Amino acid sequence: MTFSLAEVEAKQKVKVVSLGSANSIFRKKLLAMGLTPGIEIDITRKAPLGGPLELYLRGFSLSLRRNEALGIRVELLDSVG
């Protein structure tokens, strides 16, 4: 079962299934930052009230706005530490 990245709770580990309907310019930026289909991501934190998400992937932290995370489809793997 897949979810939007914005729907997943903090302290979860997910695998990117697709970058969904992200526009081509934003999609290219995501790919350049290492957010590619198949990559595993730890959702470190989610800011309250619709704020950004902090992700950990490929050895670095990345923050995304919640509306940017809506188009990214992921599947749950497990909880992070």
Six-digit token string for 37: 């289909």
Give the lowest-confidence range in 13-17, 24-28, 38-42, 71-75.
24-28
pLDDT digits (tens, 9 = 90+) for 19-39: 876 567 888 888 888 899 999
The separation between CA 48 and the C-alpha centre of its own chain, rounded to angstroms, equals 16
Is residue 51 within 8 Å of residue 66, measured between CB atoms? yes
- CATH fit for domain 2-79, picks 2.40.30.170, 3.30.56.10, 2.30.30.90, 3.40.50.720: 2.30.30.90
Q: Which pLDDT score is estimated for 29? A: 86
Six-digit token string for 39: 């990559």
Six-digit token string for 25: 């310019």
- Asked if pLDDT for residue 78 goes beyond 80, the answer is no
Q: Which pLDDT score is estimated for 80? A: 62
